[in-house]
């Protein structure tokens, strides 16, 4: 693929990410703000410090701030996924541009979010010890990097096993290896249970479900949009049309007597 095609694919990926971020922001506002408000109310009712002035108002945080964060995240996801698409197309099997875009979106959702989420699920405000926030953040990003690298390794493993085991068996073997190594990471990496006493369990559950819905929405909308845009970018004239065009050019016109 030449640089012009990569540039065009990158633009389409970022556009798809922008659209996905906008839809995810709407889902975040509808589903996520209720649990966040409930968590903030609990925190304020149990805090001994009152009267502090917010640098950014809650109204701005829940609207413009939320939308800006998800739009930027969507654009970043789109750019990285577009580059991954340019690299993977034709190298992970006989998948076309649309199928490749869909597989990258599904793989991104699983490796970038779902696998780290299951080990270190997000917490609403007032949940978590401030003294461990640095360690928790570092371990979460370690889990993201590890998950992505294991996902790439699983694809390479499946491709190398395919000639000996067949595509289906190789895919199953690579997926099993991925799950097995992730399970070991889950077992050896430390966990955290820092929900304060008396904090409503329903608020934690609703918040975590909302964040999961936000990311599933973002990656799904991105996958659908990007697969369509990438497919249109790579679509050229079909062989039948090319043959018809060549025949039309080669056909002699009526001769003049």
Asked whether residue 157 falls in the same domain as residue 34, the answer is no
As averages over each run of 10 residues, the pLDDT of the chain (257 residues) reads 70 94 94 87 68 64 85 94 87 80 93 94 82 89 96 92 88 94 95 83 92 96 92 59 45 48
Query: Which token pair is 159?
Result: 């491709």
Give residue 144's domain range: 130-194
248 in any annotated domain: no
Asked whether residue 199 falls in the same domain as residue 138, the answer is no
Asked whether residue 221 falls in the same domain as residue 115, the answer is yes
250 in any annotated domain: no
Asked whether residue 108 falls in the same domain as residue 168, the answer is no
Asked whether residue 140 falls in the same domain as residue 81, the answer is no
Asked whether residue 139 falls in the same domain as residue 34, the answer is no
pTM of the model: 0.81
Write the pLDDT tens digit of every residue in 28-49: 999 988 888 888 887 777 665 5
Asked whether residue 9 falls in the same domain as residue 107, the answer is yes
């Amino acid at each position: 693929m030449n640089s012009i095609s990569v540039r065009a694919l990158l633009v389409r990926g970022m556009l798809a990410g922008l659209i996905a971020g906008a839809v995810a922001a709407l889902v975040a506002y509808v589903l996520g703000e209720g649990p966040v408000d409930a968590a903030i109310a609990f925190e304020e009712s149990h805090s001994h410090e009152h009267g502090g002035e917010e640098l950014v108002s809650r109204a701005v945080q829940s609207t413009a701030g939320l939308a800006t964060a998800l739009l930027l995240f969507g654009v970043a996801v789109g750019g990285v996924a577009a580059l991954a698409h340019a690299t993977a197309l034709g190298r992970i099997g006989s998948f076309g541009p649309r199928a490749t875009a869909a597989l990258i979106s599904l793989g991104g959702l699983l490796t970038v979010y779902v696998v780290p989420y299951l080990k270190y699920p997000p917490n609403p405000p007032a949940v978590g010890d401030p003294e461990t926030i640095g360690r928790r953040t570092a371990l979460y990003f370690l889990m993201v990097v590890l998950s992505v690298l294991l996902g790439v390794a699983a694809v390479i493993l499946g491709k190398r096993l395919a000639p000996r085991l067949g595509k289906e068996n190789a895919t199953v073997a690579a997926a099993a290896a991925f799950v097995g190594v992730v399970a070991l990471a889950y077992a050896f990496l430390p966990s955290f249970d820092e929900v304060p006493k008396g904090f409503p369990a329903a608020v934690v559950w609703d918040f975590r479900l909302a964040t999961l819905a936000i990311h599933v929405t973002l990656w799904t909308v991105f996958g659908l949009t990007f697969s369509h845009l990438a497919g249109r970018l790579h679509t050229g004239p079909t062989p039948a049309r090319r043959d018809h065009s060549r025949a039309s050019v080669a056909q002699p016109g009526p001769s003049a007597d």
